[in-house]
Chain A
Amino acid sequence: MFDDRSPIYLQIADQIKNDIVTGALAEDEQVMSTNQYAAFYRINPATAAKGFAQLVDEGVLYKKRGIGMFVSPNARELLRGGRRDAFFADVVDPMIAEARAVGVPLSEVVRYIQKEEQ
């Protein structure tokens, strides 16, 4: 589930963000409590709490006193905006590098993508 090459609290935050971007977690939906989350993924509760606190700091989650934590109303748009900004650098550039390395002409890549548009 989690790897030991980067802090688990960051991996938790990334996973919840991903659930929000894909729509698996809806806006204003309640997320698991840190103890539930810790039990479910078999991790230390303080680590889970740190991941959730990070998301509150970033405005992705908000707290309701005595009830729990919820997805912020604008969280999905906030996260999608960030991912769009990084899209070309993170996704397209490596694809171009790979295409060049294995000898796929970019014109062929463009044709392939254009088929998807139709």
Chain B
Amino acid sequence: MNALEVRAENLTVRFGGVPAVDGLDLRLAPGKIHGLLGRNGSGKSTLAALLAGFRKPDEGQVLLSGGDLGAPRSPYEDAVVTSRICLIRESGDLYDQVPVKHVLGYAASLRPYWDHDLAGELLDKFEVPIGKKVQKLSRGKRSALGVVLGLASRAPLTIFDETYLGMDVPSRELFYDVLLADYAEVPRTILLSTHLVSEVSALLEEVVILDRGRLVTQAPVDTLRGRGASLVGPAAVVDELTAGLAVLAEQRLGGTKSVTVLGDLDEALLAKARSAGLEVGQVGLQDLFVHLTAPVPSKEARR
């Protein structure tokens, strides 16, 4: 399998002294589909640009290894490494004065694993006219062209940074289908940066959650499903049972309190909660994501 392993060590970028990515340590296992989740401004795009060698970190380093690269190398200003990384951004980064077919020609000459037949097949599926100039394409078709370039490059590290925002729902679903199909055929390391958590989460194997340039959590996505629980009932009982747990959010209405906690609740606590008449519910991934990246953390969550 020609897939890259990604390592980031103490990765830091500052804009005017303000950190956008702040001392990040990270490892992306080769050959998996990873999700990069975070609110707007959490550092997702800066991180994607760093991993692809589009910019130099102020501190720390990015190291890529494995596949046909072998030993760890930094992507910045290394043409061999960057030819094996394909970052597709929402803006497209496309040379837009030329017809689509010329853009494909450039990609073919720059990408060592470019698959011409796949590109043609995908352009048909997304109905992108190859004779038209890129600047004449609608936003949706331009995004689709980005997706085609990203997949047909078959790069050992492929990053889609909100590429599909300009696409309507049927086109996004088509993107998810062709992504899974081509990944099954040629497994490689894929990073999907998005805030459409509920739409994308089933496609992922691992997830990285960023908040204000820092790592909130990295985990297999399936283990995060059901990791959060909500307890609702009389305030005094809820407080007693949730003391000492990582509380993500709380709400109060009269004498009733609702608390969202992180982590697996043990059987003894669950039994106690039920016998006290509390309502116990599981918190979905989307809600967990919202709580984990809340603008102002409650004092309990900071403990």
Chain A residues within 8 Å of B, Cβ to Cβ: 2-9, 35, 38-39, 41-47, 50
Contacts and interface: CB of A to CB of B under 8 A. Distances in A.
A60 B115 CA distance: 40
A17 B233 CA distance: 35
A50 B222 contact: yes
B205 interface: yes
21 contacts: A4-B284, A5-B284, A5-B285, A7-B223, A8-B202, A8-B222, A9-B222, A35-B184, A39-B177, A39-B181, A41-B202, A42-B173, A42-B177, A43-B202, A44-B202, A44-B203, A44-B205, A45-B180, A46-B32, A46-B205, A50-B222
Nearest to A51: B222
Contacts of B226: 5-7
A4 B203 contact: no
Interface in B9-38: 32-33
A92 B285 CA distance: 32
Contacts of A42: 173, 176-177, 180, 202-203
B32 A4 contact: no
B130 interface: no
B225 A6 contact: yes
B207 to A, nearest CB: 11
A45 B183 contact: yes
Contacts, number: 57
Given A39-B177, A44-B33, A4 B198 contact: yes
A50 B223 CA distance: 12
A42 B199 CA distance: 10
Contacts of B284: 3-5
Contacts of A41: 202
A8 B201 CA distance: 10
B237 interface: no
Interface residues of B, number: 25
A4 B201 contact: yes
B203 A43 contact: yes
B204 interface: yes
B282 interface: yes
A38 B223 contact: no
Interface string B265-303: 000000000000000001111100000000000000000
A47 B184 contact: no
Contacts of B201: 4
Interface string B174-199: 00110011011000000000000010
A45 B190 CA distance: 13
Contacts of A47: 202, 205, 222
A47 B201 CA distance: 11
A6 B180 CA distance: 22
A47 to B, nearest CB: 6
Contacts of B225: 4-8
Query: Top 3 nearest A-B pairs by Cβ distance?
Result: A4-B285, A7-B222, A4-B284
Nearest to B173: A42
Given A7-B222, A7-B225, A45 B202 contact: no
A44 B204 contact: yes
